[in-house]
Amino acid sequence: MIDVVAIVGPTASGKTALSLELAKRLDGEIINGDSMQVYRDMSIGTAKIMPEEMAGIPHHLLDIKDPDEAFSVAEYQKLVREKIEEIRSRNKLPIIVGGTGLYVQAVLFDYRFSETQVDEKLREELYEELEEFGPDHMHAKLMQLNPEADIHPNNARRVMRAIEILLSGEETDRSLALSPMYNEVIIGLDLPRAVLYDRINKRVDGMLEAGLLEEVKALRDRGIRDVQSIQAIGYKELYAYLDGKLDLEDAVRQLKQNSRKYAKRQFTYFKNKLPIYWISALENPEKNFQEIQSIMQEKDRQRRIERMDHQNKEQEI
């Protein structure tokens, strides 16, 4: 049987709606797969599902961190793997839903991380590397660690902090990064770029109407600054507006542009790093469900054949 399903895709592609449909039909529970939706008081800008929209489906790993707390991929991996086992122990299907490809990959495949926290020695080594090779080199290093990172190459301080956070869970063996931990199925939502970009623009307008500026102002008024969470798209642009660095029109324009660029990077990561079964985001839910069911059945069949072949080879030895 399939151990876990993941629904991935770029921002505004319809992951939430599809995940709810799957959870209802397959007796599943949903695990957050978005690195920013773990933060409390950051709901509008992260497009977090609201309790009244959950349709009675249990959702996990939302609102587990304060905005000024750090959160690494290593911590996410640990929490989600524990949650997968918990959900499966209740004979439910775990469904990971989100657009942070690195996080999803770290859970489903054999990414191994060190247990040590970022220390002064690591920080010193990174800054020596910065001094020797320059900010462009360090930005390239960040993009290797996390292609989805949305920090300008000129912002060396934030580039360095992002690298430190990621290296608090540094891989110890990259060769294992595509060795599966589960009998998983990863479903990707695909749609034409023009349609996606139009959806993104409309989503940003909807977020502003829903009170995104007020949400950002509340964080700023609490003194939340220079932390990982507010580097998220939708927050950093409006912080710049509230700090007087941009007028509101320019901030919104940048927000939309950065969201579109992020969606492009998400597509690139998913298509290069993960074994995804792509389906059209424009199809009706019934057709998508039937297609996903067929994919799950075929993947399960293939896995059984692989296990039988492995057992036969062991017997021959």
Binding site per annotation, positions for substrate: 11-16
- CA quadruple 236, 240, 246, 247: dihedral positive or negative? positive
Feature table: binding site? 9-16
C-alpha 170/C-alpha 113 separation (Å) is 5
C-alpha 189/C-alpha 140 separation (Å) is 28
187: left (phi over 0), alpha (psi -120 to 50) or beta: beta
Closest CA to 183 of 300, 60, 82: 300
C-alpha pair distances (Å), 281 with each of 59, 180, 287, 289, 291? 22, 26, 11, 12, 12
Question: At which residue do the structure tokens 């509230």 appear?
Answer: 242
Feature table: binding site for ATP? 9-16
Partners of residue 28 on adjacent β-strands: 93
